[in-house]
Structure 1
Amino acid sequence: MTDYKLDKEKLKKLDEYIDSIEKKEGALINILHEAQDMFGYLPEDLQLFIARKLDIPAAKVFGVTTFYSFFTMEPHGKHLISICMGTACFVKGADKILNEFKNKLNIKDNNTSEDGLFTIDTLRCVGACGLAPVVTVDGKVYGRVKVEDVEKIISEYTGK
């Protein structure tokens, strides 16, 4: 194996996972899911490792990684806050809720709080328009969220 700047144990497990797949053609998305579950994100070194392991161009791996919004090339905080920005949610104030989360968590340029506890993400549509505006934290759904609810939601994950 080439010297990657990645956790060697996790890399070994990913290597074994890829080896266990009988038909590797068409398995890229599943492999990327598994890699992201293991590492938390898909850094460039990890994408290169996968490309070499599958004997496919790195550009193909990068293209799939950047095409699907589920995949991320940046590490996330411990908790992922996703705010729906679909039409129903936006009309009902999702932009104000997003700004309140950013203000309360002191998030400026990037999407992760300085303490590494929270990452904020926006989604095109959650598919729960009747609950608009919708926020999810680590997959838990909060419906009909108001700006006043933001602090309470955060406190559920900080204990404060």
Structure 2
Amino acid sequence: MAEQAAIPDEAEVRARWSGFQWTSENARKAAEIIARYPEGRQQSASIPLLDLAQRQVGEETGTQGWLPVPVMEFVAAQIDTTPIRIMEVATFYTMFNLAPVGRYHVQVCGTTPCMLRGSDDVLEACYKKGLRKGHTTADGLFTLTEVECLGACANAPMVQINDDNYEDLTEASMTAVLDALARGEKPKPGPQIDRQTSCPEGGPTTLKKMAERNYDYRAQWNAAAGEGA
């Protein structure tokens, strides 16, 4: 499937990240997260703490963020567990990056619904912009990964870029999203066609007044039922 980005040399990683500590704001957030769990169950905080750590690394590096081994060891110490327990979590969930990524992590869904609806065209748009699977562009902006189902099959094809989904894509609309990000703009997430979330394209096809207000159709239904009796 996707070529994976390479993890940097361990000595280099430890030299850069062995002194990792929470920022004052993230220390407060981490304490709040850990306090959600009963005494003796602090290991349940591993996922939100890893997410918080990845985001801090992202802020420090101007990227989406990733989890160097010393950072995972730091999180393990925060909840009094072994590093391997934290690494088991980080390697299981694809939301965690185990190698450096760019400012925008472009995750293209290549599973069957997206493939049938044109994910190859979405990937072609990425390739034409110089993105390669498992690699970060020379300017540090984009990392491209092909992934399995991201759960927006009704709006296929789609990609996830950092925290946002972009759906109902074509080669042209994917190119427009990448161009906007490269310019420092924020493209509108969600469907890239005229529809709200997963509603029909162009708007509702039935019960149209409900789109305007909480319209009560019961009088019409009762009258229709009476006519049919």
TM-score class, shorter: 0.7 to 0.9
* More RCO (CA 8 Å, sep 6+): 1
Give, in angstroms, the shift of residue 126 of structure 1.
Answer: 2.8
SS in 1 for 2:131: coil
Is 1:124 the counterpart of 2:148? The answer is yes
Q: Aligned partners of 1:117 and 1:59: how far apart in 2?
A: 31
Identity %: 26
Counterpart amino acid of 1:89? C
- The count of corresponding residues between Structure 1 and Structure 2 is 156
Cα deviation 1:109-154 (Å, max 9, x = unaligned) = 6331111111223332233223221123344443332223333222
Q: Check the 8 A contact 2:17/2:68 in 1, yes or no.
A: no
Give, in angstroms, the shift of residue 7 of structure 1.
Answer: 8.5
The 1:111/1:54 distance shift into structure 2, 3 A limit, reads same
Cα RMSD (Å) of the superposition?
2.8
Cα deviation 1:40-98 (Å, max 9, x = unaligned) = 21111111222233332211111110001111122221122221222110122313422
The 1:5/1:64 distance shift into structure 2, 3 A limit, reads same
Counterpart amino acid of 2:169? V
The 1:25/1:145 distance shift into structure 2, 3 A limit, reads closer
Give, in angstroms, the shift of residue 15 of structure 1.
Answer: 5.5
User: Hey, what does 1:43 align to over in structure 2?
Assistant: 68
Q: 2:21 aligns with which of 2, 8, 11?
A: 11
SS in 2 for 1:149: helix
Which consecutive unaligned segments of at least 5 residues does structure 1 have?
none
Q: Which structure has the greater CA radius of gyration?
A: 2
Q: Check the 8 A contact 1:81/1:121 in 2, yes or no.
A: yes
Q: 1:133 aligns with which of 148, 152, 157?
A: 157
Moved over 4 A (4+): 14-20
Q: Check the 8 A contact 2:133/2:144 in 1, yes or no.
A: no
Which consecutive unaligned segments of at least 5 residues does structure 2 have?
1-13, 58-64, 185-229
User: Hey, what does 1:149 align to over in structure 2?
Assistant: 173
Q: Check the 8 A contact 2:158/2:168 in 1, yes or no.
A: yes
